[in-house]
Chains A and B, each alone.
Chain A
Amino acid sequence: MTTAPVLHLDNIVKTFPGVRALDGVSFSVLPGEVHALMGENGAGKSTLMKVLGGIYQPDGGDIYMGDTKVTMSGPLEAKAMGIVFIHQELSLAEELSVAENIYLGELPRKSFGRVDWATLTAQTNAILKKLNVGFDAKTRVGDLSIANQQMVEIARALTVDAKAVIFDEPTASLTDAEKVVLFDVIADLKADGVGIIYISHRMEEIFKITDRISILRDGQYQGTVVTAETNEEAVTQMMIGRKLDLSRNAAHHDLGAVALEVRGLSCGALYQDVSFEVRRGEVVGFYGLVGAGRTEIAETLFGLRDPSAGQILLDGEEVRLHSPADAIALGISLVPEDRKGQGLILGMNCRDNMTLPQVDDLKAGPFVAEGAEIAIFDQYRDRLDIRTPSWKQRVGNLSGGNQQKIVIGKWLSMHPNVLIVDEPTRGIDVGSKSEIHKLLRELAAQGYAVIVISSEMPEVLHVSDRIVAMYSGRITRTFTSDEVTEDNLIQAISGIKPGHAA
């Protein structure tokens, strides 16, 4: 390791009001290396990439390219220095040709501002030949497959003298055959001495193509490991952390009848053959890495996705759910992952948000019975300890914890049979977190059937009576709270069969 790294980050710090998004992140990318960057959602990967791309300025720390210290004041400068991004979301002009997209903003010109088509086509075809793709400079980008569009992005990267290329979830929408082509291109780049940062949640790929892995958790650098010397379990553990609050929940109260049963439920490629049951008085936690299919199951149970196979039974009777209205009518409620985008009408006041699903039942003649609404709001404000000066307050002005309580109150006031809570404490401060955990336990004690989906292991361990572990769209194991340990849970969500790992 005598070669100087193409890119070296030294103790990068970036803070936002109230959050330390990056807290002393350091790692190096060597020339000709594929370096994986891993971490759960919110670990700081995207913030770090925005710092590298010149979109954010770091509050502390230095970036070196080769031996020189650099500052990136904007995306164009980052590109000029040879840092190139291949984004998950492609940013291509579909109506334009491949050549125009590759040289967008830098089209070769002739006199009077005319485009020099001959040069443009020749240059583009030279790059495309290097990538060994089956289309030419004049193809309309909109006619290409997603994989080929990605190749156009990569070709664009090659027009500058790229020193470091960053791939952000590049395989998210690729087929297996297309992945092979992508990996070939990455291998070529590597052979040319380019340093590659590869961001992905997919362990298989990471272990197949990367040389080293750096891991972030909660904005902190957890270390860099050599891929060949580690395994999936160890990496997962670094991503999730072991500093666990071990206050487990044990199932103390009596369980009631089965409220919800799911048999062999599948939804295309999202998840397959999922079966489980939830009893009244029970909290069932769903745990797995991002993309394991947990949220998609919740969406199916709430009528937002039609399953491709399988059955959903409510109190022993099969139900079909085609819309949230169907689900709500049957007493299934969802506190969604994206509180602001999916759960709340931010421009409306607290009371109107809380009574939104049942306002039709609160009528006095043709008009809304506002008195009844205020009574409901007051009742759940007191019960959930929602801190707001008045029901008239716009929900958009509340803190995350209070917003979440409004969403929970919205459903509790309708006395549901099954309450599904997706990421109950995402973006919520520590104090409100423990309140919400306590609340979820209380709800189970009162006889609700509760499903909690969470990416935080301490949370799942703390609130759940049973834990369903998922990996890549399948349930790998279901634990009772007595059986579960951090180790076997990590194994289950890394796709490792029990006894198989060392």
Chain B
Amino acid sequence: MQQGTLSKALKSGAIWGFIAFELVFFSVAGEFLSLSDKAFMDFDNMLLLLKQSAPIGIIAMGMTIVMVNGNIDLSVGATFAIAAIILLESMTWPIFAALGDWVIPVAWLLALTAGTLLGALNGLIVWKTGVDAFIVTLGSMLGFRGIVFMFNGENPTSHLNWTLVDFAEAEFLGLATASWVLLAVTLVIWFVMSRTVHGRNAYAIGDNREAAVNAGIRVGPHMMINFAIIGFLAALSAVVFYSESGSVNPNDGQLYELWVITAVVLGGTKITGGAGSVIGTFGGVIAIQLLRKGLGHIGADTSTVNLVIGLILIAVLFLDRQLNVKGKEELKV
């Protein structure tokens, strides 16, 4: 009964320990290296960090449920770009001209619907063909990105609606709209995963698919729902981000899938499925954003950031593997 408690505690607490380490490290290092004289752990800076975490964080919540379910989705970055284009472009369509600012919710709805459908399409293909989710979504990543380029070539798609920008930049209780959306999504997905039948079954399928089938669980629909959820969240992420920026480049969202997966894995979700938590993912998202910000704070450039995050990811997985191996050996005795 004792086995695994230590490694479990380490695993669930590790990401928060890492975040604390980052905070201390960058605060101290910042004293010597930083070009600005503002402290790193400044309250406003932390609020900004939460806001900046939102685009990746919102998608990462969807990725958590997809990965716990035993799948993966590489197409989220491209879905993000498609949803962004639909959001900005639909506001300029003549048929909506009479709506005035009421075009905003219509555009949101269109973008979110598109994201959900694209996600569901991925899920349907994985379910009906039995092809591995990695391959299916690798294909749709390329395909969706192709659609983005077909739409407007290399040119950006832009549309600024000031009402929309005001909404996106609004703050409530000190938190930006994007931060609220991230927190709300985290809460909702946490409820879905820990309190609903769908969440329970997603864990079961990811842990032991055969036993789940033998318990009468219909695996396909659950997988499809999860892909629809992540598609919706990729679109929601785009809605939040582009309501403020008003311009989307055809390359936007590239590599998002990798950042998202990195955050989810850092947060303790197993790549093979069956284990993981939304709270851990939230920690992973914050940890990555802290690292990016912190390295920037001490004067490192973007390429250094990527190198360091890459190294940390491998180190974390290696550590996790060592802990798991130890746990198993204890079990044998």
Contact for A397 among B3, B201, B275, B332, CB less than 8 A: B3
Q: Which of B55-63, B189-197, B234-242, B251-259 contacts A (4 or more CB under 8 A)?
A: B189-197
Residue B216, interface by CB 8 Å: yes
Given A347-B275, A359-B200: A342 and B214 interface contact (C-beta under 8 Å)? yes
Cβ–Cβ < 8 Å partners of A341 in chain B = 208, 210-211
Contact with B along A190-216 (1 / 0, CB 8 A): 000000000000000000000000000
Report chain B residues within 8 Å CB of A418. none
A367 in contact with B195 (CB, 8 Å)? yes
Q: Is A27 an interface residue (CB 8 A)?
A: no
B196 near A342: Cβ-Cβ < 8 Å: no
Determine the distance from Cα of A345 to Cα of B204 in the docked complex, in whole angstroms: 6
A328 in contact with B207 (CB, 8 Å): no
Q: How large is the interface on B (under 10, 10 to 19, 20 to 34, 35 or more residues)?
A: 20 to 34
Distance, CA A304 to CA B275, complexed state (A): 27
**With known contacts A360-B197, A367-B191, A368-B200, A345–B216 Cβ distance under 8 A:** no
B197 to chain A, nearest CB (A): 5
A323's partner among B195, B208, B218 (CB-CB below 8 A) is B218
Instruction: Say yes or no for A271: interface residue by CB 8 A criterion.
Output: no
Determine the distance from Cα of A397 to Cα of B2 in the docked complex, in whole angstroms: 10
**What are the residues of chain B within 8 A of A366 when measuring CB–CB?**
195-196
Is A115 located at the chain interface by the 8 A CB criterion?
no
Write out the residue numbers on chain B whose beta carbons fall within 8 Å of the beta carbon of A329: 216
User: What A residues does B203 contact at CB under 8 A?
Assistant: 345, 347-348
- Which of B1, B191, B197, B204 lies in contact with A389, CB distance below 8 A? B1
Per the 8 Å Cβ criterion, residues 319-333 of B in contact with A are 332
Interface of B is mostly: helix
Which of B1, B196, B204 makes the CB contact (< 8 A) with A393? B1
B10 within 8 A of A: no
On chain A, the residues within 8 Å of B1 by CB distance are 389, 393, 397
Shortest distance from the beta carbon of A398 to any chain B beta carbon, whole Å: 10
A453 at the interface (CB under 8 A from B): no
Q: Choose among B191, B211, B213, B275 the residue that contacts A344 (Cβ–Cβ < 8 A).
A: B211
Tell yes or no: B49 within 8 A of A by CB: no
Contact call B211/A359, Cβ cutoff below 8 A: no
A368 touches B216 (CB 8 A): no
Please give, as numbers and ranges, the residues of chain B lying within 8 Å of A360 by CB-CB distance. 197
Query: Which residue of chain A has the shortest Cβ distance to B1 in the bound complex?
Result: A397
Contact with B along A315-326 (1 / 0, CB 8 A): 000000001110
Per the bound structure, the CA–CA distance linking A367 and B197 in Å amounts to 7
Q: Is the CB of A324 within 8 A of B196?
A: no
Q: Is the C-beta of B274 less than 8 angstroms from some C-beta in chain A? A: yes
CB under 8 Å from chain B, chain A span 144-166? none
Chain A residues with CB under 8 A of B3:
397
Residues of B within 8 A of A304 (CB): 214
Q: Give residues 80-107 of A contacting B (CB, 8 Å).
A: none
Q: Which residues B171-211 have CB closer than 8 A to chain A?
A: 191, 195-197, 200-201, 203-204, 207-208, 210-211
B23 at the interface (CB under 8 A from A): no
Q: Which residues of B contact A363 (CB under 8 A)?
A: 197
Contact A328 B216 (CB under 8 A): yes
Q: Does chain B have a CB within 8 A of A473?
A: no
Q: Is the CB of A324 within 8 A of B197?
A: no
Residues of A within 8 A of B191 (CB): 367
Q: Which of A334, A347, A397 sits near B214, CB closer than 8 Å?
A: A334
Tell me if A462 is interfacial: C-beta within 8 Å of chain B: no
Least Cβ–Cβ distance between B193 and chain A, in angstroms? 11
Is A336 on the interface with B (CB-CB < 8 A)? yes
Residues of chain B with a CB closer than 8 A to A302's CB: 214
Q: CB distance A348 to B207 under 8 Å?
A: yes
In the complex the two chains form, what is the Cα distance from A368 to B217 in whole Å? 15
A459: B residues at CB distance < 8 A: none
Does B212 count as interface, using CB distance less than 8 angstroms? Answer: yes
A345-B207, A389-B1 known; A324 vs B275 contact (CB < 8 Å):
no
Verify A347–B217 contact, CB threshold 8 A.
Answer: no
Chain B nearest CB from A239 CB (Å) reads 30
Enumerate A336-363 residues with CB–CB distance to B below 8 Å.
Answer: 336, 341-348, 352, 356-357, 359-360, 363
Question: A328 vs B191: C-alpha distance in the bound complex, in angstroms?
Answer: 28
Known: A325-B216, A356-B215, A359-B200. A342 touches B274 (CB 8 A): no
Query: Is B207 in contact with A352, judged by CB distance below 8 angstroms?
Result: no
Is there contact, CB below 8 Å, between A336 and B214? yes
Q: How far is the CA of A389 from the CA of B210 in the complex (A)?
A: 27
* A325/B218 contact (C-beta < 8 A), A341-B210, A366-B196, A367-B195 known: yes
Query: 10 closest pairs, A vs B, by CB?
Result: A328-B216, A325-B216, A356-B215, A357-B215, A367-B195, A347-B207, A357-B216, A345-B207, A345-B204, A360-B197
Q: Could you give 23 example pairs across A and B, Cβ below 8 Å?
A: A304-B214, A323-B213, A323-B218, A324-B214, A324-B216, A341-B210, A341-B211, A345-B203, A345-B204, A345-B212, A346-B207, A347-B203, A347-B207, A347-B208, A348-B204, A352-B204, A356-B201, A356-B204, A356-B217, A359-B197, A359-B200, A368-B196, A397-B3
Q: What 13 additional pairs, Cβ within 8 angstroms, besides A345-B208, A346-B207?
A: A325-B218, A344-B208, A345-B211, A347-B203, A347-B274, A347-B275, A348-B203, A352-B200, A356-B200, A357-B217, A359-B200, A367-B195, A397-B1
